[in-house]
Each structure stands twice: as C-alpha cells, then as structure tokens.
Structure 1
Amino acid sequence: MASNAPGDCCVKGVRHDGEPTGTLIKIDTHDAYQATPDPSKAKDAAILIIPDVISIWQNSKLIADQFAANGYYTLIIDVFNGDAMSLNRPEGFDFFGWLNKGSTGDNPHTKEAVDPIVEKAIKFLKGEKGFKKIGAVGYCFGAKYVCRHFRNGIQAGFVAHPSFVEEEELEGFKAPLSIAAAETDEIFPAEKRHRSEQILAKNGLPYQINLYSQVVHGFAVRCDPSKKIQRFAKEQAFFQAVTWFDSWLL
C-alpha cells in the first residue's frame, strides 16, 4: 500500500464553528452538499470532495464553502449510503466490521459499493452541471477514491492524510496530485510518504507532498483550531489545495 488502512484516528477531532451556506441535495438516492460561488467570481471548474468517514457534516460543509468562496462550484458526495460514522466514536468500535458490512450488516463501504457513488457524482458534475474541468479532494478515506477515479474524468487531485490507498491506485492517477501529510500519522507514516514520492516521481507528472509539523492524522478536517499550530496547518493545507487547482486545473 501507498498508505495504511484506516483506524480509530480517522474519527477523532473537533467540531468547528461557523454557519454553512451551501445546500443539501440528492444525486440519485445519495445525499450531497453543494456550495456555489458568487457568479462574479465563479471559475470554469468544479471540485468534488470525497470525504472522510464522517462524511457530510459541519466541518466538511465549511470546507466546501471555502472552496466556493475561492470560485469553485463544490460538491460533497456521501459515499456511505447514509451510514457515516459519528465524531469521536468510543474506543473498541469495530471499524473494519463497519467498512465491510456497514452498521446494519448489509450496507458495505468497500470499493465495490463506493465506486458507483463516486461515478454518479462525476456524471452529475459533467452532465447536469456541465463542467468540463473537475478537480477532486480526498480526506483520509476519500483519498483512495480520488486516485481510483482519474479514469472517470478527474483532472487534478488533492488529498490530505490519505488512508487505504494501494500502490497501483496511486500509480494509476495520471494527473497532477498534491498531498498534505501530518508529521505524526500511523496511517501515512514516513515510509509511506517516501514510497508515494517514488511512485509519483516515476509518473513524471506534477506532484507535491507537504509535511505539516506537530499535527496528526485528520488535521486538515478535524484539528483543534484553538491550538495555533493545528489551525495554521489546516489553513495552509487548504491554501495548498486551492493553489494547486488554480495552477493545474484551470
């Protein structure tokens, strides 16, 4: 793997303050959240956010709104069929049981279940919204599916603290890719970062791996903003993404 499997750190964090300004919609039967830019600032490109296991919630909505404030129509798709995890689950939760079978035992969150949902979101952006340029953002769980769906029209990618990404999936992403990594991260540790660097260098396309000190897995979505170093890392990772898309998507 280019990153390890998810763990308890994927659901820990802090809920952020703010009032989301986007709207909830449906794409087929799946929940989604759209954030629309001011028409005077709108760019000719869309961003698809494939979220972490908490899916569409306060923090991810605020991030989508920030992308919209920077001119990008932004869509978050719930890839969990309404079965997302809650923040700060108790220790001992059967994470892999949830991945393989879902909370009800018949709602898996494997690639066989998630891939079709991501494809519907991309089809929505291309068809109903008419975008020809699509960038994708993947946080934690979502990073795997940014890499997997280059073939469906993703033209530039940004991932933060990725999990569950296979080496062949990273190799298959034949587009510019930016990665935000945490200094302390059992899921994307130093050896995985270095291996990812080797793979991306071999691909010969623009890539970037930024390492943020004194933060842990999940910082780009669920950090504690009352702590200056964490707030700085989250904000810089967001600016990293916007700058990447401004440079390689437009």
Structure 2
Amino acid sequence: MADDEVATKAPESDAQQAPTGPEAQSVFPGDTKAQEGASMGEHCTTDRPTPSGEVPTGELSKLGGVECYIAKPSDYPHSPSKLLLLLTGGTGVKSTNNQLQADKYASEGFLVVMPDQFEGDPAPNSVDMTKIEQETSWLESVKLKTAEGIKSFMIDMWLARHTPEKVLPILHKVIEGAKDEFADAVANGGGIYGVGYCFGAKYILILAGLTPNPASWGQPATQDVEQAAVKKEPAIRAGAVAHGTMVTKEELEAIQAPVYIAAVKDDPLFPEDEVLTPGRRALEKNSVEHEIQVFEGVPHGFAVLGDYDDPKIKQSQVQAFDQMIGWIKGH
C-alpha cells in the first residue's frame, strides 16, 4: 500500500472496504446488499484520539426526561444566545470527543443541547463473548462465533433497536423540553437550529422536513393514526450535517428548511447516485435553500472531532466545521 493510502486510511474508512467471501453475506435472512451498504462503520462506534489537553466544560442534565449534554456560551445568559440541537454518531452523549464538539459550537455563541438519542445504549465497539453466550441460544451463539463479520452483526442488532420509531419520539421530548427550559434562546434564534454527524445527520435532515405528528411515530398504520399524521412545519429553522448514514432520498425530498450537507466522495454509506444526486435535484426542484460540499481523499467520519496524523484530513475537518457553523449563523 502506498504511503498516501496509509495516510488517509482511518478506522472510519473500514466500512468502505467491500467484503468478499462468506462475510459478504448478511447473517439476517432477507437482507439485501443495499441494506448492508447502509449499515454503520467504525467511525460511529470508536472515537479518534482526543485532541491533547482538551477537556469538556459542559454538563449532563435532563430535558423532557432525556439525558443531554448541555454546553453554554461563557457569557450566557447575560448575552443573547441561539439554541442548537446537536445529534451525534453512535458513540453518543458520553463521548469526550462529542462533548468537545458541542463545546466548540458553544464557543461560537450557541447554547448546545446534545441528547442521548440511544437511551444509554451507544453503538457497540467491542464484543463480550461471555455475555453473548449467556444471552443467546446455542445455535445463535455458534452463528455469532462463526460469522467473519461479528462486529457488523452486533451493529446491525444495535441499529434494529434504534429506528426512527424509537429515536424521533426521544428527540421530540428534548425539543419540547428545550423550548421550556431555554425559551429565551429559542426565541432569540427564531426557532431551533440543528447539526448532525453520521447517525445523527439522518435525524437532522428528517427534522428539517415536513415531519408527521409525533403522536403517530411508532404506531400501527390505522386510519386514526393516518389522520393524526398531519404534516407540519419543520422542527428546526436550519440544519447542517456531515457524512450522514442511512439517509434516504425520500428524506431529502421532504426537506423544507435550509440545509448544508458535507459529504464524502464515493461514500457507500451515503451513496451519490442513489441518494445524494436525487436529493440535490429534489432540493432544487422544491426551491429549498441548500449547499452540498463533497470532500475528496478523506474517510467517512472525518468531520467528527478527533485527532488525525494526515494534514489533509485535519484541514478538511476544520473546513467542514467552519462551513457548518457559518451556515447555521447565516440562517
């Protein structure tokens, strides 16, 4: 492998390596290749090294009964602030890097609310075989032990626990709680702003669209629920996201609020032909203000705060943050 290939390869890029042989087949009956391509990568389960000497300054608190990391500007509440909802990748609210990322947005004048969208169940970054043996049948245990892609299997199981039907009601509780707790910041910004990375990017894009009534989330498709699922205004005023995972073109087509999207060239977790390009066309057709920046030569997950040796990745990470914060400030 050439030196430049080594320089850009990071744990986040593991998911971009196309599997071959038995491990290319999903252990879930009926799964398709496209569904496997929409799974999560190492970027969402393992933090990069934390920048030296940096320590989070926010605090953990609850909004709407949901644990959140709250980062405030140093002069708040003496000076006006705007409220920013930050949604993370699978490493979640307890990740030091995610907390530092929230602090960075707070230093730019935003009151940042970063919720635990996983209810204390962040994405798995290791496999405890003893626990697996205790909690699964003999046949399932054999299947797990013999699967080449055991970590992928565990992540798929985790994803099945954290679907829009589970995550969106949590976010709704946090949004309503923030409107009560930080009404001044919401009013000052004329609404709530949102930024999201990886897993969280999908949900910022959903919140930027015409979302259904929260009462209908996760409910059977009865006539009453269909009547309750009346379209309403986007939950956020403007959004900025980086390298989303599991985003669908339908979610991009539903967007109504201004959005900035940082994508990675040839990213199988956010495919250009199947998702990004149709989404861009829909945004243009619907006259939705948007900007899409495609970064080349960087791994999926590059914009999440964390240390890299490669100066190109470092530079792109800074550029993505500057563009995301610039977009939010401009709206």
TM-score range, shorter chain: 0.7 to 0.9
Query: Is the contact made by 2:124 and 2:158 (CA closer than 8 Å) also made in structure 1?
Result: no
Residue 161 of structure 1 deviates from its aligned partner by 0.4
Residue type of the alignment partner of 2:174 = A
Closer, same or farther: CA 89–167 of 1 in aligned 2, 3 Å? farther
Residue 68 of structure 1 deviates from its aligned partner by 0.5
- The answer as to 2:77 corresponding to 1:19 is no
Residue type of the alignment partner of 2:57 = T
Q: State which of 57, 75, 83 in structure 2 corresponds to 1:39.
A: 75
Query: Is the contact made by 1:137 and 1:159 (CA closer than 8 Å) also made in structure 2?
Result: yes
Between the aligned partners of 2:174 and 2:40, the Cα distance in structure 1 is 26
Matches within 5 A, 1:95-106: 95-100=155-160
Residue type of the alignment partner of 1:149 = L
Provide, for residues 146-204 of structure 1, a one-character-per-residue CA deviation record: whole Å limited to 9, x for no partner.
12223453010011101112222222220100001112421113323222211211221
Shift >6 Å, 4+ stretches = none
Closer, same or farther: CA 88–19 of 1 in aligned 2, 3 Å? farther
Query: Is the contact made by 2:247 and 2:270 (CA closer than 8 Å) also made in structure 1?
Result: no
Between the aligned partners of 1:170 and 1:117, the Cα distance in structure 2 is 21
Give unmatched runs, 5+ long, in structure 1.
101-107
Residue 226 of structure 1 deviates from its aligned partner by 2.4
Closer, same or farther: CA 211–58 of 1 in aligned 2, 3 Å? same
Equivalent residue, structure 1, for 2:120:
82
Give secondary structure in 1 for the equivalent of 2:89: coil
Residue type of the alignment partner of 2:111 = Y
Equivalent residue, structure 2, for 1:51:
88
Who wins on radius of gyration, i.e. which is larger? 2
Give unmatched runs, 5+ long, in structure 2.
1-33, 129-148, 209-232
Equivalent residue, structure 2, for 1:66:
104
Higher strand share: 1
Residue 45 of structure 1 deviates from its aligned partner by 1.6
Residue 42 of structure 1 deviates from its aligned partner by 4.9
Provide, for residues 5-35 of structure 1, a one-character-per-residue CA deviation record: whole Å limited to 9, x for no partner.
2323433551322201111112244221011
Matches within 5 A, 1:193-204: 193-204=276-287
Closer, same or farther: CA 165–121 of 1 in aligned 2, 3 Å? same
Equivalent residue, structure 1, for 2:263:
181
Closer, same or farther: CA 12–47 of 1 in aligned 2, 3 Å? same
Residue type of the alignment partner of 1:54 = T
Query: Is the contact made by 1:220 and 1:238 (CA closer than 8 Å) also made in structure 2?
Result: yes
Provide, for residues 76-121 of structure 1, a one-character-per-residue CA deviation record: whole Å limited to 9, x for no partner.
0011010002557795222221111xxxxxxx21111101110011
RMSD: 2.2
Q: State which of 137, 156, 166 in structure 2 corresponds to 1:113.
A: 166
Equivalent residue, structure 2, for 1:5:
38
Number of residues paired by the alignment? 239
Give secondary structure in 1 for the equivalent of 2:255: coil
Identity within the alignment, %? 33
Q: State which of 226, 248, 269 in structure 2 corresponds to 1:166.
A: 248
Between the aligned partners of 1:235 and 1:167, the Cα distance in structure 2 is 28
Give secondary structure in 2 for the equivalent of 1:113: helix
